[in-house]
Amino acid sequence: MSTQALLAELAAIAGERYVLRERSERLTYESDGNPLLVGAPLCTVLPAGREQAIAAVQACVRHGVAFIPRGAGTGLSGGATPTGGEVVIGMARCRRILAVDPVGCRAVVEPGVVNADLSRHVAPLGLYYAPDPSSQFACTIGGNVAENSGGAHCLKYGVTTNHVLGLEVVLADGRVVELGGAVWDASPGYDLTGLLVGSEGTMGLVSRATVRLLPQPQGIRTVLALFDDVAGASAAVSSVIAAGLLPAALEMMDRWAIRAVERGTYRVGFPEDLAASLLIEVDGPAAGLDEEAEAILTICRQSGVREVRTPSSPAERTLWWNNRKTAFGAMGKLAPSYYVQDGVIPRSRLTSVLAEVGRIADEFGLLVANVFHAGDGNLHPLLAYDDRHPGEAERVMAAGSEMLRACVAAGGTISGEHGIGLEKRDDMRALFSDADLAMMQAAHDALDPRDLATPGKVLPLPGRCVEVRRAAWDPRATLGEGAVADRSP
Ligand SMILES: Cc1cc2nc3c(=O)[nH]c(=O)nc-3n(C[C@H](O)[C@H](O)[C@H](O)COP(=O)(O)OP(=O)(O)OC[C@H]3O[C@@H](n4cnc5c(N)ncnc54)[C@H](O)[C@@H]3O)c2cc1C
């Protein structure tokens, strides 16, 4: 069967104007939020609703052409990036909220529903959808399911997998299956819902999801703690957890991240010389919340905090959160481009691994800012660079890879929430044995033996060669001498 025949079938399914073939139309679909990885699709099809999405997968399967489901393209590991010639199935028009059950606390949604829109939709019922990636105003539930996404408030409430009850999936042979159900943890047999969550589109396209909704907490207390050294902030993180407190969120920014957000849109008035900040939130039944907040303030003081603040109004709390959640984008105020890494370490190793991250950045001549989910030990080093210089991409990726190895050496892992995608598939060898990887491959091949669903992602390919070049853009020239060496905690 010919490519032309497939394109004609896709046009019959979604409509001619929703099959994008021209380079100018499909440019957006050549990469996700990781601009270092780019590839050309055969075309992009934009189905309206799950029925059309299912038909689009089935057409690809009949023609033996690979397909890539795509949500909002905010992924950071190249998951939705084509490797050459796939049909990208953009889910942005599959955005119906199909049912809300306020008594059973669940919703049934199409995968293109934007994360924050779901919480907004159910807010009048006193409910919300808990996983809250910082990209939640753009990213989709389908992308969240595929990446098993986390977020600032996942320390207490768990990541996406803890909130998915059931999935409808179009497999890579075109069959449509229902996994899980409408009730939490009550599906007998193998946990295939668990297998699909986090499979990054490599086992089929999620065409419908049933998710848990939670009652909005009765009360919230927020604390902003300002530190003169990273060690003090890290000690406070460990002490909060050791004291048996479980904040909903425990977020850290270091010196350069603070400098970036203070040049961005949402400024909270951090002092220019600050070394670290912690944004801590507790929530739940109103009784006891003030005591929890007080205990956290005491721990911060015992850890040498310079200043603690509590918000004077809900608007101020929102400003603090907007400041934190736009930290990645604010990096544009420091450098022409940035590359974000995503590793996990035991919380007790925060100080030493952050120092190692800084050492690696120095070695590669890069400026690094850290903004991360400290409570989960989920690091996000942001490497500043200039993508207009040839060789920069390889340099930052090589530095990022070395940072991941430092996380693994500290007893951690290579991704907390951004997934493996194309970016880290070769780093999988740093973490898993051949036997581990063979089992993952077998699970994949059982569902997609022809490798039609998002091919070339997650599982490593044999051999890899990254050429590391010298810095072409020197952050010192733009941001001053301290940009590389000034990491002192
Ligand atoms: C500024 C910024 C902040 C971020 N903060 C966070 C954060 O706090 N926590 C976090 O976890 N992530 C974060 N991310 C990463 C990203 O937003 C998440 O991975 C998100 O879940 C991706 O959703 P998406 O809809 O954009 O998916 P895409 O990027 O479009 O796709 C991601 C992967 O999901 C697959 N996929 C998409 N839809 C489907 C479907 N229907 N069926 C099967 N597979 C599918 C794709 O094939 C791809 O492999 C952030 C990204 C940015 C840019």
Q: How confident is the model at residue 468 (pLDDT cuts 50, 70, 90)?
A: very low
Confidence of residue 476 (pLDDT cuts 50, 70, 90): low
Domain range annotation of the chain = 3-90, 97-215, 219-329, 335-489
Average of per-residue pLDDT across 474-478 = 55
201-249 per-position pLDDT tens digit? 999 999 999 999 999 999 999 999 999 999 999 999 999 999 999 999 9
Structurally, at CATH architecture level, domain 219-329 sits in: 2-Layer Sandwich (3.30)
Q: What pLDDT, in 10s, does the model give residues 418-460? A: 999 999 999 999 899 999 999 999 999 999 999 999 999 999 9
Each residue's pLDDT tens digit, 363-419: 999 999 999 999 999 999 999 999 888 888 889 999 999 999 999 999 999 999 999
**454 CA closest ligand 1 atom index:** 47
CATH number of this structure's domain 335-489, picked from the four choices 3.30.420.40, 3.30.70.2740, 3.40.109.10, 3.40.50.1110:
3.30.70.2740
| Beta carbon of 416 within 6 Å of any ligand 1 atom | no
Decide whether any atom of ligand 1 lies within 6 Å of the 47 Cβ: no
Give the pLDDT score at 486: 43
Which pLDDT does position 477 carry in this prediction? 58
pLDDT tens for 282-300 read 999 999 999 999 999 999 9
Where is pLDDT greater, at 428 or 483?
428
Q: Which atom of ligand 1 is nearest to the CA of 328?
A: 1
Q: What is the pLDDT at residue 470?
A: 36
Query: What CATH number is given for 3-90 in this structure?
Result: 3.30.43.10
Determine whether the shortest distance from the Cβ of 146 to ligand 1 is under 6 A.
yes
The structural architecture, per CATH, of the domain 97-215 is 2-Layer Sandwich (3.30)
Shortest-distance Cα residue to atom 18 of ligand 1: 75
Topology alike, domains 3-90 and 219-329: no
CB of 417 closer than 6 A to ligand 1? yes
What's residue 31's pLDDT?
A: 94
Across 350-360, average pLDDT: 93
The preferred substitution site among 60, 129, 134 for testing ligand 1, maximizing ligand atoms within 8 Å of CB, is 134
What percent of the chain clears pLDDT 70, i.e. is strictly above it? 94
Which atom number of ligand 1 is nearest to the Cα of residue 169? 42
Q: What's the chain look like in SS3?
A: CCHHHHHHHHHHHHCHHHEECCHHHHHHHHCCCCCCCCCCCCEEECCCCHHHHHHHHHHHHHHCCCEEEECCCCCCCCCCCCCCCCEEEECCCCCCEEEEECCCCEEEECCCCEHHHHHHHHHHHCEECCCCCCCCCCCEHHHHHHHCCCCCCHHHHCCHHHHEEEEEEECCCCCEEEEECCCCCCCCCCCHHHHHCCCCCECEEEEEEEEECEECCCEEEEEEEEECCHHHHHHHHHHHHHCCCCCCEEEEEEHHHHHHHCCCCCCCCCCCCCCEEEEEEEEECCCCHHHHHHHHHHHHHHCCCCEEECCCCHHHHHHHHHHHHCHHHHHHHCCCEEEECCEECCHHHHHHHHHHHHHHHHHCCCEEEEEEEHHHCEECEEEEECCCCCCHHHHHHHHHHHHHHHHHHCCCECCCCCCCCCCCHHHHHHCCCHHHHHHHHHHHHHHCCCCCECCCCCCCCCCCCCCCCCCCCCHHHHHCCHHHHCCCC
Residue nearest to ligand 1 atom 16, measured at CA: 75
pLDDT confidence of residue 437: 96
For residue 177, the model assigns a pLDDT of: 98
CB of 78 closer than 6 A to ligand 1?
no
CA of 69, closest atom in ligand 1: 47
pLDDT of residue 402: 94
The pTM for the full model equals: 0.92
User: Does 147 sit in the ligand 1 pocket, CB within 6 Å?
Assistant: yes
Ligand 1 centroid to Cα of residue 206, in Å, is 13
Tell me the CA–centroid distance for residue 459 and ligand 1, in Å: 18
Summarised one tens digit per residue, pLDDT across range 377-387 is: 999 999 999 98
pLDDT given for residue 487 in this prediction:
37
CA of 483 to the centre of ligand 1 (A): 30
Atom number in ligand 1 closest to CA 111 = 41
- Indicate whether residue 139 lines ligand 1 (CB < 6 A): yes
Cβ(487) to ligand 1 under 6 A?
Answer: no
Spacing, Cα 75 to ligand 1 middle (Å): 4
Q: Which of 50, 114, 139, 417 for mutating ligand 1's site (highest number of atoms within 8 Å of CB)?
A: 139
Answer whether residue 16 shows pLDDT above 60. yes
